[in-house]
């Protein structure tokens, strides 16, 4: 069985029918919106794990990543820690291509950067708040736009005062 969407053909190979239809639907949407190549999962259909990237190979950053991992596990959010040491740009590109909507970068020991795939916007979040922010985003309690606007508003108030 093959499905054609524009110039692209899809074949399920060993994929389950439901999963195949989900991939075709999301890939076809990305073609219509002229977004980067890749499968773009919606927040709730995301099957890949949330990546946690220590910025550099450093034991302090890896310890923070492990602490975040524990809090995400308690919150029920699927995630993985990437300590490959590959450049952060390449790691972002890989997760973007897989359609993962967010990535967490550990770049200090007290706060992290959360990056959103579609806009490439980033916010800083204290380590102890990462799980609650990601829970709100993952389960649709808050939108990225809402959280980003609130964070930017606070930043501007601090900057101007």
Where do the domains of the chain lie, and which CATH numbers do they carry? 3-32 (no CATH), 50-160 (3.40.50.800)
DSSP code string of 64-132: HHHHHHHHHHHHT--EEE--S---HHHHHHHHHHHT-SEEEEE-SSSEEEEEETTT--EEEEEGGGHHH
Q: Compute the residue count for the chain.
A: 161
Beta pairing, strands 111-116 & 102-106:
antiparallel
At residue 158 the predicted structure's pLDDT band, cuts being 50, 70 and 90, is low
At residue 150 the predicted structure's pLDDT band, cuts being 50, 70 and 90, is confident
Contact 113, 123 (CB under 8 A): yes
The pTM of this model reads 0.69
At residue 73 the predicted structure's pLDDT band, cuts being 50, 70 and 90, is very high
Average model confidence (pLDDT) across the chain: 77
Residue 50 in this model has a pLDDT that exceeds 80: yes
Give CA 11 to chain center in angstroms. Answer: 27
């Amino acid at each position: 069985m093959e499905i054609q969407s524009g110039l692209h053909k899809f074949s399920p190979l060993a994929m389950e029918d439901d999963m195949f239809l989900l991939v075709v639907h999301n890939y076809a949407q990305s073609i219509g919106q002229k977004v980067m190549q890749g499968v773009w999962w919606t927040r709730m259909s995301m099957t890949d794990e949330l990546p946690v990237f220590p910025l550099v190979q450093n034991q302090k950053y890896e310890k923070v990543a492990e602490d975040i991992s524990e809090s995400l596990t308690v919150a029920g959010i699927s995630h993985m820690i990437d300590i490959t040491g590959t450049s952060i740009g390449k790691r972002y590109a890989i997760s973007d291509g897989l359609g993962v909507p967010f990535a967490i970068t550990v770049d200090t020991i007290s706060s992290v950067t959360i990056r959103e795939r579609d806009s490439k916007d980033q916010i800083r979040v204290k380590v102890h708040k990462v799980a609650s922010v990601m829970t709100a985003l993952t389960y649709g309690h808050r939108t990225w736009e809402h959280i980003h606007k609130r964070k930017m508003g606070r930043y501007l108030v601090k900057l101007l005062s």
